[in-house]
Amino acid sequence: MTFLGTFALWTALLVGLWGAVVAFSGRWQWQPVLERSVTRSVYAVWFAVAVAAFALFRGLYAHDFNIEYVWAYTARNLPDVFIATAFWAGQKGSLLLWALVLTLFASLAQFLTPRRYAPLLPYVAGVTQAVAVFFIAVMLLAANPFERLPFTPLDGRGLNPQLQNPGMIIHPPLLYLGYISFTIPFAFAVAALLSRRLDTGWIFAIRKWSLVSWLFLSAGITVGMWWAYVELGWGGYWAWDPVENASLLPWLTMTAFLHSVMIQEKRGMLKRWNLTLVVATFLLTIFGTFLTRSGVIASVHSFTQSPVGWYFLGFLVIAGIFAYTLLHTRWPELAPEAELQSMLSREAAFLFNNLLLVGIAFSVLWGTMFPIISELVKGTKITVGPPFFNRVNVPLGLLLLALTGIGPLIAWRRASRANLRRQFTVPLAVGLLTFAASLVAGIRELYPLVTVTLAGFVGAAIVQEFGRGVRARMRMYGDSITTALARLVGRNRRRYGGYIVHVGILCYCVAFAGMAFRTDLEATLKPGDSISLASPFGHTWTFTHTGVSQYKDANRYVSAAALRLGREGKDMGLMTAEKRQHFTLEDGVEMKSFEASTEVGLRSDLREDVYVVFEGVVNGTEEAKYRFTINPLVWWVWFGGIVLVIGGLITMWPGGGGPVAPNRKVAATVAQPASAQPLEALRDA
């Protein structure tokens, strides 16, 4: 299998290199046979990489410990479900997964893209082939997943205990899918620049790809938050870790692109901005890969220090120089077709929205890179912690939340006083009522108070938009409420799917505000001892330690501490929290290869999570040391993620009356009259 895998990678490298060279040479423009061969080379590279992936999977499940990667990440007592996850648990396997998905997406882009964009496709193939060649070359030169050991061990080292979690099955693939799929929009952007086809055609060609990438990345980040929350035992779900930040950066710029692209479609504006965002997003995905693989920044998420990271740094520099040089040469051809007519317009709101997203991205990038910069300049690595990120990004995030409600309410081109009064009266009133209710409920901290107030405003704005559309359909067609709602969303999926995404973001923001009221307590308890912890919602939780049990389960020893949970004198059942010690077998002898992992005790409802960490026994007795935490509103983070995914799926679902390219001449010279605004709901209906 190692010979088959290595041979397949070399074949993919040579075919991909040939396809990239022919595509960028431009000779295919006069020779149709070359154009067809470039496309076929994309399919051939995918097939070759798929063969290599099959070979590695075969080695993993056959326990071929002569393969260094199989020995390093699997063991005979590793549960079968985690043998599959070992494929992407290590650096070498994850690079092969990246190449496999990239070549698959490249093939789908060639196969699924409508023929009206055919002049772009050879250049698209050239870009995707060049990126795939880079990943394959890194594997063959520096991180070959089929490298063999000089001998065959009886067993492997096994998988890190923290990776033996359901999150390992979902989180890395989702994140990789989000990272990798954005290569396709980047390829179309480069193709548009190379071919000088700089109208909105390439924008329409990548709309679904951009949404797919953003959706995968959003889901991957959310699942990663859940994984960190239940596995690491620190009581939170976002720590501004460098690798967490690396996944957030392309999400921010991609979100900005998805908003500003609507302005280019409707008004012919922000062409330069959109191309810059596409290039920046792709480069940030490579930057995130560099951080995880170089070892320059310590992180619980990163791989060990490796020269592979420097290959990515070189590729990042070369790709950045190439893309921005190409963008610079086409700069005069990207002049806007219309100008911003008023600061009180939807275009201006989207522009401010983008500036805030890019501002947050810059602050996150600066904070992430500051330890490296400080070490280069002063010789001392100065770490930037969560206080910096919170101090800068929370105010920017609140402004962004406000614009989430403001943007959809303002008219295009120029808003009239009548439009502003009609659109904002109800949302502002709801926001003020939410503010008053929050004060009555005892919320006094500034940021949570502002967050809840803005949530009321934005939520009311979204409900108002849905309500107007539903009422219009009911008047026009006599639909019932549910039928009118379904048909309204079905007719304009992009708009109303976007509103549903905003609801998901709203859930995130409210949940984040809730963490400001978390309470925690550490205690050491003997069997029968009890301790109480007050909830921010006014009731009290009681924890009674009942004992510690120890047992062997699969590939680990488990110490499980049991607690009797009570609330205001009512028995709420048992809760357990665990410490696990994993082992492997060496010559038939159990070897404890890894430090202990933690499994938290968790009871979750709509209001709060009861979060218990068992930190170990005292002096070999059943006396146990605990950390108890009450985390308000955490459930809404995961619910927000589900709503966001649903909204994203609605937005990208085929059909639904997407936007039609407007008459640019009329759009550039005629302002939308205020009297047209009441007709928006009827038009959408």
Which pLDDT score is estimated for 29?
78
Q: How many CB atoms lie within 10 A of CB 240?
A: 18
The enclosing H or E element of 446 equals helix 446-477
Report, in this order, helix, strand and coil percent for the chain, each rounded to 5.
Answer: 65, 10, 25
Which pLDDT score is estimated for 6?
95
Which pLDDT score is estimated for 12?
97
Which pLDDT score is estimated for 618?
87
Which pLDDT score is estimated for 657?
47
* Residues 571, 546 contacting (CB under 8 angstroms): no
Which stretches of the chain drop beneath a pLDDT of 70? 294-306, 584-595, 655-685
Give the amino acid at 70: V
pTM of the model: 0.90
* Residue 364 neighbours by CB under 8 Å, 6+ apart: 240, 245, 248, 249, 252, 389, 393
> How do residues 456-507 score in pLDDT, each as one tens digit?
999 999 999 999 999 999 999 888 999 999 999 998 998 999 999 999 999 9
Give the amino acid at 51: V
* Residues 76, 63 contacting (CB under 8 angstroms): yes
Alpha carbon 643 to its chain centroid, in Å, reads: 14
Q: How many CB atoms lie within 10 A of CB 52?
A: 26
Which pLDDT score is estimated for 389?
93
Burial of 480: CB neighbours in 10 Å, binned 0-12, 13-18, 19+: exposed
Q: Using DSSP bridges, classify how beta strands 589-591 and 597-599 pair: parallel, antiparallel or unpaired.
A: unpaired
CA dist 129 and 13 (Å) reads: 9
Burial of 616: CB neighbours in 10 Å, binned 0-12, 13-18, 19+: middle
* Residues 145, 95 contacting (CB under 8 angstroms): yes
Output the CA–CA distances (angstroms, integers) from residue 94 to 53, 316, 571, in the order listed: 11, 18, 47
Domain ranges of the chain: 1-159, 517-635
| Radius of gyration for the chain, computed over Cα atoms and rounded to the nearest angstrom | 27
Closest to 182 measured CA to CA, from 111, 293, 280: 280
Burial of 581: CB neighbours in 10 Å, binned 0-12, 13-18, 19+: middle
Scanning the structure block, which residue is given the tokens 């043998």?
A: 83
Instruction: Write the Ramachandran bin of 29: left for phi over 0, alpha for psi from -120 to 50, otherwise beta.
Output: alpha
> What's the first-to-final CA gap in the chain, in angstroms?
59
* Residues 629, 515 contacting (CB under 8 angstroms): no
The token duo for 17 is 């290199």
Closest to 131 measured CA to CA, from 294, 13, 275: 13
